[in-house]
Amino acid sequence: MSKLSLSVAVGDYDRHRPLVDGAVQIDGVDPVFMLLEPEEIFFRALRNAEFDICELSLSSYTVKTARGDCPYVAVPAFPSRAFRHTAITVRTDRIKTPNDLIGKRIGLPEYQLTACVWARAILAEHGVQPSDVQWLRGGIEQSGRVEKIALNLPADVRIENIGPTQTLSAMLAAGEIDAIVSPRAPSCFERGEPNIGWLFPDPTAAAKEYYQRTSVFPIMHVLGLRKTIVEQHPWLPAAVFKAFSRSKSVALAKLADTSATKITLPFAEEQLKAARALLGDDFWSFGADANRPTLEAFLGHHHDQGLSPRRLAVEELFHPSTLETVKI
């Protein structure tokens, strides 16, 4: 029997490389890999369901799953995770603490971005609710960015689009807004312009304290499979989950071989040791049960912020065949 030829759109990460180079196989699948930036994958997947298997924004996926109109079903493999204390860039001449943001103007590229959900959750811990600020939506570096999916937000969330030729980075540098919440730091921050900095001066220390208190290592992306393919081949989700899990394990084994480091970064051995000390040996875990505290926290924040009309259960996010891990 011939293998299924399926398109697979994912980011170019070390945890995907064993799959891309063929060292790890997806049972029954002849994959056509496309290594793309997340923004392109998400736009094409959520607008036109262009890929058979692809990386998806956890927030966008949750919005559409809660509404019942998502063309994908996920497996609990998590291509991207990140603590988002670095996602909040501010005018340091005005903003010294999170509470200083109350009543201020905050830019973001899209309200529903997963990084923005986690950043707003951090702000809420400090008493700053989504309704306490004026949100300005637009491109960080390029004008004309729009929300990928239609939203029905609470009436007390004030959000408006910036001008058609404006960018949030330029507005922050000029003092026209007070902060930006975004997955990537704006260029005015990267250039070291005066009075531009992180809200949390030591974001690593803040993230470590957050994890020690909550046991939450934020998930950014999930892996989705087109529902029409899964309906025809119900064995596929388990096969994909197994393959991506093995690929991650191979990548982590290579990362641990520090006789010649596999990443272009000094102190890799020390950083790996520190990650394990904080997060445990399986610090980038897959699976629904292993990540229940993080997933429960996210689903609660997502609903509280008005992005999902009802609070989903963790089990609703994933194909049933991937909720139990087979020991091999």
Q: How far apart are CA 151 and CA 308, in angstroms?
A: 9
Alpha-helical regions (H) of 193-256: 203-214, 227-232, 236-256
Domain stop point among 162, 189, 214: 214
Mean pLDDT across 208-234 = 98
Residue 258's pLDDT band, with cuts at 50, 70 and 90, is confident
Claim to verify: residue 180 and residue 223 sit in the same structural domain: no
Burial, 237: exposed, middle or buried (Cβ in 10 Å; 0-12, 13-18, 19+)?
Answer: buried
pLDDT over threshold 80, residue 238: yes
Return d(Cα 287, Cα 76) in angstroms, integer: 5
CATH code of 226's domain: 3.40.190.10
Range of the domain at 194: 88-214
Rounded to an integer, what distance in angstroms lies between the CA atom of residue 78 and that of residue 71? 19
**256 in the same domain as 202:** no
d(CA 167, CA 142): 6
Please answer whether residues 36 and 11 qualify as being in contact, where contact means their C-beta atoms are separated by less than 8 angstroms: yes
Let me know: does 218 contact 117? Beta carbons within 8 Å. no
Per the listing, tokens 């992180």 go with: 198
Helix (H, G, I), strand (E, B), or coil: what is residue 140?
A: coil
Arithmetic mean of pLDDT, 186-207: 97
Q: What is the mean pLDDT of the chain?
A: 96
What's the CA gap between 106 and 162, in Å, rounded?
11
| Residues 234 and 285 placed together within one structural domain of the fold | yes
Q: Are 219 and 298 in contact (CB under 8 A)?
A: yes
**pLDDT for position 150:** 87
Helices 58-67 and 38-48 cross at an angle (nearest 10°) of 10
- 104-161 per-position pLDDT tens digit: 999 999 999 999 999 999 999 999 999 999 999 999 999 988 888 889 999 999 999 9
The CB density around residue 77, as the number of other CB atoms within 10 Å, is 23
- What average pLDDT does the segment 264-277 reach? 93
Rounded CA separation 139/143 (Å): 5
Instruction: Determine the Cα–Cα distance for residues 67 and 61; give it in Å rounded to an integer.
Output: 10
Whether residue 326 is predicted with pLDDT greater than 70 in this model: the reply is no
Are both 203 and 124 inside the same structural domain? yes
Instruction: Indicate whether 209 and 225 sit together in one domain.
Output: no
What distance in Å separates the CA atoms of residue 181 and residue 170, rounded to the nearest whole number? 14
The answer, yes or no, to whether residue 298 has pLDDT greater than 50, is yes
Span 201-215, average pLDDT: 97
Answer whether residue 327 is part of any domain. Answer: no
- Shortest CA distance to 46 belongs to which of 143, 115, 114, 108? 114
Residue 292 domain flag: yes
User: Is 328 a domain residue?
Assistant: no
Residues 104 and 208 both lie in one domain: yes
pLDDT, tens digit, 9 for 90 and up, residues 33-66: 999 999 999 999 999 999 999 999 999 999 999 9
Q: Virtual CA dihedral for 194, 138, 124, 95, nearest 10 degrees?
A: 20
Helices (H), the chain: 17-20, 38-48, 58-67, 114-125, 168-173, 187-190, 203-214, 227-232, 236-256, 268-279, 292-304
Q: Which of 165, 192, 214 is the last residue of a domain?
A: 214
- The answer to whether 208 and 219 are in contact (CB under 8 A) is no
Residue 46 is assigned to a structural domain of this protein: yes
In a domain, 206, yes or no: yes
What is the pLDDT at residue 325? 63
Q: Judge whether residue 25 has pLDDT over 80.
A: yes
Give me the pLDDT at residue 328, please: 45
Percent of the chain topping pLDDT 90: 93
Q: How many domains is the chain built from?
A: 2
Residue 272 located in a structural domain? yes
Judge if 99 and 199 occupy the same domain. Answer: yes
- Per the domain annotation, does 312 fall within a domain? yes
Same domain (yes/no): 258, 308: yes
114 in a domain, yes or no? yes
Which residue, of 195, 214, 233, is where some domain finishes? Answer: 214
- Considering the domain architecture, whether residues 252 and 276 belong to the same structural domain is answered as yes
CA distances from 322 to 1, 152, 235, 313, 327 (A): 24, 31, 10, 15, 12
Domain match, 160 and 206 both? yes
**58-93 pLDDT tens trace:** 999 999 999 999 999 999 999 999 999 999 999 999
* Same domain membership, residue 58 and residue 162: no
Looking at the structure, do residues 210 and 103 belong to the same domain, yes or no?
yes
Q: Give the pLDDT mean for 279-297.
A: 96
- Predicted local distance difference test score (pLDDT) of residue 40: 96
How many residues comprise the chain? 328
